[in-house]
Every structure is written in structure tokens, then in C-alpha cells.
């Protein structure tokens, strides 16, 4: 279990850094005027984004619990991800209780990120299953040819 936690935590850090870089590229393309402020307070800008994405990916460990229905696992992952978003957002001052209008847009944006991660992991698992099925089919055909 410790190995799985380490795997998902490291993937979370990797994805968090990737999303940070992508956000900075988008900022450079669409809002270059805010880049000086971002680089002036880079740690304050980068750390919450990395923590949020790290939380999203690291909570994917719930998919390892096979005794839970996939819908329940997805609901747990979504709820924990949004909770992490809100905790980090309020802790780092991204959100304030005086102005809650940007929270729904951020939740929608981050749900899109979660969907992209789900899609990535789904395709990865699907490819692995196809490879396993191909090997099983090959062994089955070998066994049939041996018995004939």
C-alpha cells in the first residue's frame, strides 16, 4: 500500500508541475500583463496549483479499492478533489468569503482537469487490458494448436 501511495503522490506532483507549466504558457499567450506579478510571487502562485493537482491525482488511489463500485469510487474521487480545491483555495487566499463568484468557474475548470485525468487513466488501463487479452488469446491459440 505504501508503494501505491508513493506512486500516486509522485504522479500527482508530476501532473501538478505539468499543469502549472501549461497554465503559465496560457497566461503568457492570453494575459502576458500578469506574468511580472506571477514571477514576483512565484511560490505563492505555484504552490497552490501544484497542491491542488497533486491532491486530484493522489486521490486516484481510491480506484485501487476494487470492492467499491466504480460509480462510488468516482464520486469519492470527485468529492475529495473538490474538497482539496476548496481547502487549498481558502488557505492560500485564492478564494475569500467576501467574493465567492469565482469558485463555480474554478470547480468547473478543475472538473475538466479531473475528466482529463480519468480519460488518461481509463485509456492507460484499457491499453493494458488489451495487451493482456492479446497474450491470453495467443496462449489459448497455442494450446489449441498443441492439442490438435
Q: What is the pLDDT of residues 100-133, one digit of tens each?
A: 777 787 777 767 777 777 788 778 888 988 999 9
CA 60 to CA 131: how far, in whole Å? 23
Q: Where are the domains of the chain?
A: 2-147
Give residues with Cβ within 8 angstroms of 76, minimum separation 6. Answer: 59, 62, 68
pTM: 0.62
| Cβ 55 vs Cβ 62: under 8 Å | no
CA 61 to CA 9: how far, in whole Å? 9
Amino acid at each position: 500500500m505504501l508503494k501505491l501511495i508513493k506512486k500516486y503522490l509522485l504522479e500527482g506532483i508530476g501532473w501538478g508541475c505539468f499543469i502549472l507549466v501549461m497554465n503559465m504558457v496560457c497566461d503568457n499567450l492570453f494575459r502576458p500583463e500578469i506574468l511580472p506579478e506571477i514571477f514576483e510571487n512565484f511560490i505563492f502562485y505555484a504552490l497552490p496549483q501544484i497542491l491542488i493537482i497533486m491532491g486530484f491525482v493522489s486521490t486516484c488511489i481510491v480506484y485501487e479499492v476494487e470492492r467499491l463500485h466504480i460509480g462510488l469510487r468516482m464520486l469519492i474521487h470527485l468529492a475529495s478533489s473538490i474538497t482539496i480545491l476548496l481547502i487549498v483555495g481558502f488557505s492560500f487566499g485564492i478564494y475569500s468569503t467576501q467574493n465567492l463568484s469565482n469558485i463555480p468557474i474554478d470547480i468547473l475548470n478543475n472538473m475538466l482537469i479531473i475528466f482529463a485525468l480519468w480519460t488518461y487513466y481509463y485509456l492507460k488501463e484499457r491499453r493494458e487490458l488489451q495487451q493482456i487479452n492479446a497474450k491470453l488469446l495467443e496462449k489459448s491459440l497455442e494450446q489449441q494448436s498443441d492439442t490438435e
